[in-house]
Structures are given as C-alpha cells and as structure tokens.
Amino acid sequence: MAGAVTFLSGRSWLAALLAILVGAARPDAQSPDVQRVLQEIKSADTGLLSVSEEDGRFLRVMIATSGAKRVLEIGGAFGYSAIWMGLGLRETGGRLTSIEFDPARARVAAAHVRTAGLADIVTVVAGDAFKEVPRLDGTFDFVFVDAWKRDYKPFLDLMLPRLTPRGLFLAHNVLNKENEMRDFLAAIKNDPRLMTAIVAPSGEGISVSYKRP
C-alpha cells in the first residue's frame, strides 16, 4: 500500500497551532540572548535563507513532542532553524548536527549558536552534506532538510535507511517551491514506508514524513 500525503486542517491543524501559540506566550520560552540573536539573524538575512519564525516555532514543537534525541539538519544557513530546534532539544536531552555547505555561513551559524547558549547541543559542520553525512555515525530520529530543492529526493534516498523506525523526515518550502521538487513530493507520497502530512505554519510549507516501523 502506497503512502499518502495529508494536508492538516480543522482540529488537527488547530491543535498544532495552539501548541505553537502556547510556546510563544510563555515568558520563559526564550532567554534575552536567544531573542536577540534570532532577531539579528532575521535582520541580516537579506537573501531570505532562514525559515520563518512560525516555522521555527513549529520545528521546536515537533522536536519536543516527538522526543527526538539525534537530529540532523541539512542546509543550516545562518543558524536560525538550528537555534529553534536546539531549544526543543533542551527539552529532550538530544543533540543536533547542522550541515551548511557555505563555509562562511557555517562560521556565522556556529557563532550564533554559541551566542544563543546552545553550543553544548548544536554542532555546525561546514561542507557538502553528501560527503559529510557518510562520515557521521549511527542513525537519526529526526531529519530536517532546507537545502537546494533539486537535492531533496537524493537526500531522502540518503537518509531514509538511516532514519530510525518512527523517525521523522521534514522538508521545507514544499508549497512555495513545489515545482522544484516534484520527484521528492512524489516519493514521500508513494513510498509505502512513509506516512506524510504537509503543514503551512507560514505558507511556505513543511512536509512531515513518519517512517513506519
């Protein structure tokens, strides 16, 4: 039986939205240092490489609620999404490896992670993910991809064997750039190993694929 893609709506989406808003309303959700560095990243991100704040909050909730322990990010840009996921991993005791192709951006991302006080949780790696991932040991229970859209399907092929049963594979921009990744979208829809939903906290779209045990 092939997998299917579900668009969350109604009560399911409302529940997810409420979870995000509750996190946003908590006065202790972010320290002043974290708030400041997130604002600085957004202000300097003229190329719009980072996820939106809504998407960042969604990633944090997904990390925390899934109990993820070993997380991989492919396409870290300036560290914005890594910081949000790192905040979620504070709740689970997990660790994140964030791979960024551009060395200059990777250096900036690592500095942002340190400023946010998450250097004990987030490790930034500079390099080509197709070369760096095979150098990493073990499996992952949560993978987030926000890289070149044409590479999404090859990254799925690379990571699916290393994704733990019941693990999550998330990909960004699946709505606003769907024409650039039709092979990937077909794969997450039709692969019988996956159960997929697409959500849109900010309109750009994030696919959430669950690996069946």
Mean pLDDT of 12-38: 58
> pTM, whole model, 2 decimals?
0.86
- Percentage of the chain with pLDDT > 90? 77
Q: What is the pLDDT of residue 13?
A: 45
CATH number at residue 203: 3.40.50.150
Q: How confident is the model at residue 19 (pLDDT cuts 50, 70, 90)?
A: very low
pLDDT at residue 9 in the model: 40
Residue 164 within a domain: yes
Among 55, 61, 36, residue whose Cα is nearest residue 116: 36
Residue 9 falls inside a structural domain: yes
The H or E element spanning position 68 is none
135 CB contacts (<8 Å, ≥6 apart)? none
Phi-psi region of 150 (alpha: psi -120 to 50; beta: other; left: phi over 0): alpha
**Residue 11 clears pLDDT 90, i.e. is over it:** no
Each residue of 110-156: pLDDT tens digit?
Answer: 999 999 999 999 999 999 999 999 999 999 999 999 999 999 999 99
Provide the domain count of the chain. Answer: 1
Provide mean pLDDT across the span 82-106: 97
Asked whether residue 28 is assigned to any structural domain, the reply reads no
Mean pLDDT across the stretch 46-56? 84
Determine what percent of the chain is predicted with pLDDT higher than 70: 85
Q: Structural domain of residue 46, as residue ranges? A: 5-23+33-211
